Amino acid sequence: MSPLTDIGANLTHASFRDDLDDVLARARAAGVATIVVTGTSVADSGAAALLAERHAGVYATAGVHPHHARDCDPATIPALRALAARPRVIALGECGLDFNRNYSTHLEQERCFVAQLELGIELGKPLFLHSRDAHPRFAEILHHYRPAKAVAHCFTGGQAELHAYLKLGLYIGITGWICDERRGRHLLELVHDIPPDRLLVETDAPYLAPRDLRPQPKSRRNEPAYLPHVLGTVARALGRTIDELAAQTARNASVLFGLPPADSAMAQ
Ligand SMILES: [Zn+2]
């Protein structure tokens, strides 16, 4: 199989503290050659950047998740700007809107999102975007700012939302949500609407372990080694081969994030 790229894994999460090297080794053994570690706060993004600097084939994003938007203060954007200058930090985010949990107010979320959008556009960095139950407001803001390169990570929405994002030029990240027979079924149909050159796959580890993994992992923790399972589900839904889709999604990730080809990342 062609080397895979997991465009979103929260490897700074505490659940990976004790066995990160094993997790990375299993990912590599499973064919996942490139991993983008998600930064969700200033401190966490610093940890993600360090992790990326220490491991071949690992990159990081720098951003503030909408859950943490209430912590955005005048020091946040300068801190993200400094992180974005580090060579393994390849995108701004994750940033966006989450009107499902509302850990921060909508106003706090919008301010923090817009500040990161402006920074990403100024720096010419792609944006790693999170949107949950925030359509159409999320699309309205993007329509105004129009980042040149961005991905709607962990897409779980419906058809209208998908088409709005595609019209905005977004890449679409598909997670193990598509393997969830209770709430992900609609995605098996919707993935047909995603142009092949805009499709990305991700685990969002440690969250969203595919529900149909057999045998079920003892811990409920998701990890990048399960990415081929997600990719296989997408390939079956699309009637494409796993190999074809692995190569396509890895190529898309390289284009979006400006990554070197996976083979050279592995050889580093
Ligand atoms: Zn997210």
Q: What is the pLDDT of residues 130-175, one digit of tens each?
A: 999 999 999 999 999 999 999 999 999 999 999 999 999 999 999 9
Residue 48, C-beta contacts closer than 8 angstroms, at least 6 positions apart: 11, 12, 37, 38, 39, 60, 61, 62, 89
Q: What is the pLDDT of residues 52-100, one digit of tens each?
A: 999 999 999 999 999 999 999 999 999 999 999 999 999 999 999 999 9
Ligand 1 midpoint to CA 112 (Å): 15
- Residue type for 259, please? L
Mean pLDDT over 190-202 rounds to: 98
Token pair, residue 264, equals 């050279």
**Number of neighbours of residue 143 by Cβ within 10 angstroms:** 12
**Number of neighbours of residue 115 by Cβ within 10 angstroms:** 17
Ligand 1 midpoint to CA 8 (Å): 9
Tell me which residue has tokens 């969250």.
Answer: 207
pTM flag (> 0.85): yes
pLDDT at 110 over 60: yes
Ligand 1 midpoint to CA 154 (Å): 6
pLDDT at 17 over 90: yes
Ligand 1 midpoint to CA 268 (Å): 29
Ligand 1 midpoint to CA 263 (Å): 28
Ligand 1 midpoint to CA 130 (Å): 5
* 6 confidence band (pLDDT: 50, 70, 90): very high
**Across all residues in the chain, what is the average pLDDT?**
95
CA separation for the pair 151, 59 (Å, rounded): 16
Model pLDDT, residue 267 = 40
Ligand 1 midpoint to CA 131 (Å): 7
**Residue in 135, 46, 71 with CA at minimum distance from that of residue 99:** 135
Ligand 1 midpoint to CA 241 (Å): 28
Question: H-helix or E-strand containing 101?
Answer: none
Q: What is the pLDDT of residues 28-46, one digit of tens each?
A: 999 999 999 999 999 999 9
Model pLDDT, residue 1 = 82
Report the share of the chain in percent with pLDDT over 90.
93
Model pLDDT, residue 208 = 95
pLDDT at 104 over 70: yes
Ligand 1 midpoint to CA 249 (Å): 19
Mean pLDDT over 197-203 rounds to: 98
CA separation for the pair 53, 48 (Å, rounded): 9
Q: What is the pLDDT of residues 229-267, one digit of tens each?
A: 999 999 999 999 999 999 999 999 999 999 976 554 444
Model pLDDT, residue 266 = 47
Model pLDDT, residue 221 = 95
Tell me which residue has tokens 């030029």.
Answer: 169
